[in-house]
Structure 1
Amino acid sequence: MMATSICHGFVTIFSWLRAAQPSTTNLKGTAPVSYDVVCLRPEVEFLRAGVTPPRSLTIAYRAPDDPEVPALMATARALVIGAVGPRLPASLFENSKLKLAQVTGAGVDRFDEPTLKRLGIPVCNVPGGSNTAVGDYAVTTASVLLRRFAWADAEIRAGNYVKFRARMIADNLAGLDGLTVGVVGLGTIGLAVAQAFHKRGCAILYYDPAPRDPTAVAAIDARPVTLDELLRTSDVVTLHVPFLPATKGLIGAAQLALMKPDAVLIQVARGGIVDEAALAAHLEAGRLAGAAVDVYSTEPPDATNPLFALKGDAARRLLFTPHFAGITRQSTAILFKTAWDNVVRVVSRGEAPLNRVY
């Protein structure tokens, strides 16, 4: 869904790498050059995080739309990709020799699951590597929205210090202590977010038919509820579910209408889970105190996104970030190192992969 815009953004960063690596054909154009690993993100990203990809393996770094990728994939034993980027064509994996498809993050929605399952190619991720970063993001953005910090900044810059300060005091804005936080999706990341809010003195509700760690859930006194009850009761609603047919449009106009008018929504899951037009309408009508949006129905989002059309107070209730909630220097290093360790485990040592999703 993001192929054209994101792939074009890779061109510059990959261009210098191409000069350092041979083409997939030799000078006579008769035989392909074989690599152990095809990596669809530039080497410089790993080095910047302080992680050196394994020198024991030959690695071809290419942009996802590079015309040499299909030939490279036919002979490589492992593929490494980021969690965010264009969906990969199922045809890339047909007749390949891949022993591992490794994501340097949590999400695996760039793959065609039925195809990789049919071909028996293990798909692995790095669960939990960005837990702390996402927890920090959710707690921070909830506080920024509830207490209107970003909104106040804009008003002060516009010369409205006195008037807006008086409005903030009159509105009796809440901090996090004692609030109810509803977590939709209590997997690895959702649990970490719930724990972060619990540490700030919040009561935790969750909607998830099969939480990953019941013992950890009990330790923070989190209570299971229906989605409707969670939406009606929570002061903060934070989303942490994968993008699946069952979660597409999970939060639409009917669900938003259940939320308290002074509640805030944290959209840090995947684009397409929230109906952006419905969210824009609720913010415009003042029926929601705010929303932090880190993921979008198309990425990068285009100018027609209804959230970008909001003006005045409605726009001030929005906090945009560029699919960045889980990215810090520390989390990136953990994600990269864990991913490459798994590649070495499979390709060099012939062992079964860790963190296999399917």
Structure 2
Amino acid sequence: MYTAATNSGFRIVVSIIASGTDSVDLATCCARGIAVGNTPHCNVTTVTEHVLALYFATRRSIVQTNMLTRAGDWPTKGSQQATMDGPDNKAPRTCHDELVGIIGYGAIGKNIESTARLLGMKTAVAGRKGAQAPEGRVAFETVIHESSVLVVCLPRSPETLNLISEVEFNQMKPYALLINVSRGGIVDEGALLSSLRQGKIAGAGTDVYSQEPAAPSNNILLTSDTADLNLVTTPHVAWYSEETFDNYNRACRSNVAGFVTKGEPEYRVC
């Protein structure tokens, strides 16, 4: 937070070191004349790479095969290839066979799309749930049903809570993967866990949780009885890289400089 003196007295600016604004009461800030700026697009590259890491980890069952190899299952139980099979009993797909459905088409969604295409994947960008898809997008329900990889990367809002729930999981392909790098609460965790256990989808990777910090004591995805599932969990670190910090510092300085020189932050949201 930065305070500056102006002709009309002291004014305050809040610069959020993130693109999301759910940590700040925007309505109260606006009502009190407090300027708010965020730092958008700073973690686009890093989050995209984390999505790919979660994709390969789940499609190739990396965590499961690592655990089994370290436990000595290979020499005692033979080939571990079946561990990598999906609920459809087929071997893992490769990038050229994947259709990546993207839910959320901001800077991160756009970068995921272009990167996925470089890997030979096909892509489909979802329209809004329950609405006709605009030109260039695909109906939400079609993306849910047809995608082999579903990437969730949109902001949390009242409209997006439980956006992906039991209805959506029931429509997904049995070889589909869900990758969630958005915010906790957008994917119904109970429905996700049930779908994994019942073999409705092949696997999931998530970096976000309904309650954070997440632990086995407060999150059903992290309890010991989920260890055998093709579920890769990371502690909200998709954004974390040296490049992101450099970008955050630059954007925050721009917000303060804009407030001092022009009376509003460079990346104003309120």
SS at match of 1:284: helix
How far is 1:117 from its partner? Answer: 2.3
- The answer to whether the 8 Å contact 2:64/2:228 transfers is no
Higher normalized contact order (CA 8 Å, seq sep 6+, divided by chain length): 2
1:343/1:259 CA distance change after superposition, 3 Å: same
Give the counterpart of 2:185 among 272, 276, 281. Answer: 272
Q: Higher mean Cα deviation, 158-167 or 332-341?
A: 158-167
Aligned partner of 2:254 in structure 1 is 341
State the 4+ residue runs in structure 1 displaced beyond 4 angstroms: none
How far is 1:136 from its partner? Answer: 0.6
Counterpart amino acid of 2:62?
Answer: F
Using structure 2 for the length normalisation, give the TM-score: 0.86
Aligned partner of 2:24 in structure 1 is 111
Using structure 1 for the length normalisation, give the TM-score: 0.66
1:135-284 residue pairs with structure 2 within 5 A? 135-161=48-74, 162-165=78-81, 167-168=83-84, 171-208=90-127, 223-284=136-197
Identity of aligned residues (%): 29
The structure that has the greater radius of gyration is 1
| Structure 2 unpaired stretches of 5+ | 129-134
SS at match of 1:311: helix
Q: How many residues align?
A: 254
SS at match of 1:237: strand
How far is 1:337 from its partner? Answer: 2.3
- The answer to whether the 8 Å contact 1:186/1:208 transfers is no
Root-mean-square deviation (CA, aligned residues, Å) is 2.3
| Structure 1 unpaired stretches of 5+ | 1-36, 39-75, 79-95, 210-217
How far is 1:310 from its partner? Answer: 5.8
- The answer to whether the 8 Å contact 1:151/1:317 transfers is yes
Give the counterpart of 1:304 among 213, 218, 221. Answer: 218
Q: Distance in 1 between matches of 2:186 and 2:83?
A: 33
Counterpart amino acid of 2:225?
Answer: K
- The answer to whether the 8 Å contact 1:280/1:310 transfers is no
Q: Distance in 2 between matches of 1:179 and 1:129?
A: 28
Q: Distance in 2 between matches of 1:318 and 1:120?
A: 45
Q: Distance in 1 between matches of 2:114 and 2:96?
A: 14
Q: Distance in 1 between matches of 2:145 and 2:211?
A: 28
SS at match of 1:201: coil
Q: Distance in 1 between matches of 2:26 and 2:228?
A: 38
